Amino acid sequence: MESYRLGRGLRQGDTVAIVAPAAPLAAETVTGAEQVLRDLGYVSVLGRTVEESWGYLAGSDELRARDLEWAFADPAVQAILCLRGGYGTTRFLDLLDYDRIRANPKLFIGFSDITALHTVFRQRCAMATIHGPMALSLGREPTAYTLGQFAAGLQEPVPAGPLQLPPGRQLEPLVPGTASGTLCGGNMMLLSVTTGTPYALDGTDGLLLLEEIGEDAYALDRMLRQFEQSGLIARAAGILFGTFHDCMPTESRDGEFTVREVAAYYAERWGKPALWGVPAGHEKDNAWLPFGVPARMEVGVSEAVLTIEKVKEQRHE
């Protein structure tokens, strides 16, 4: 199993850079996220993109690429928090200086459109990253679970042990079995649009997380079939279905397949260990998941467990 470098855990007074690699966001939400960081004992600094807007993007492709590189290269910054998803990261993947990023591994946190960056940082920079809450959700009254995951993760980036779940929530078995591998994946649309490009997820021996927002069951079916036909599923060790916020239908009507039925169909078709219900994605409860870190999934007939393996923290002062 390959090893990926992970930025160190934060100490009180450390600086977190907020950058916008994708879409822009209203100023009041940014202020709320900054307050959360202050309350946790950290200093925040805003990248140039946070106050930029170019149509549906937070500045030009060149600006967003350079802003991201600045956050990695600046020795005063210890962690990087993405503002939000939306759209835009795939536009500048060919503009990034990966050598510069590789030389400065730091905690890098985000999800949704940020999936493309998780993939390239892992595959081109040998860097582990964090699939987790962004400034958008932190600045809009995060749940106790999300805030707790974020606060604990900043201090201990690899939360070794069984994944903590929101109260009353359980992981649901789809296909029994046990698999070990590095966590990877993310938003299905981003994994789909990068398929066939130099920035596609390889996913070999990975525990593949899949999450989505606002897509109909047939559209999810299309992407899952694409992942199968492209070889991604064959390379993966196991499948983790996350949240599918506003994906319809959730209940059967007029003979239509529900979102869960589509997931279950493909999980059974693939025959790899698979579970449903990881609190990762666009719902209010959003876990801290270290991508590129070893994990183990144990799926029984009636229960399932996802365990993050303990790894030695690599400090980069």
Catalytic annotation, residues: 112, 211, 282
DSSP string across the chain: ----B-PPPP-TT-EEEEE-SS----HHHHHHHHHHHHHTT-EEEE-GGGG--BTTBSS-HHHHHHHHHHHHH-TT--EEEE---SS-GGGSGGG--HHHHHTS--EEEE-GGGHHHHHHHHHHH-B-EEE---HHHHTS---HHHHHHHHHHHH-SS--EEPP--TT---EEEE-EEEEEEEEEEEHHHHHHHTTSTT----TTEEEEEEEES-BHHHHHHHHHHHHHHTHHHH-SEEEEEEEET-B-SS--TTPPPHHHHHHHHHHHH-S-EEE--S-SSSS----EEETSEEEEEE-SS-EEEEEPP-------
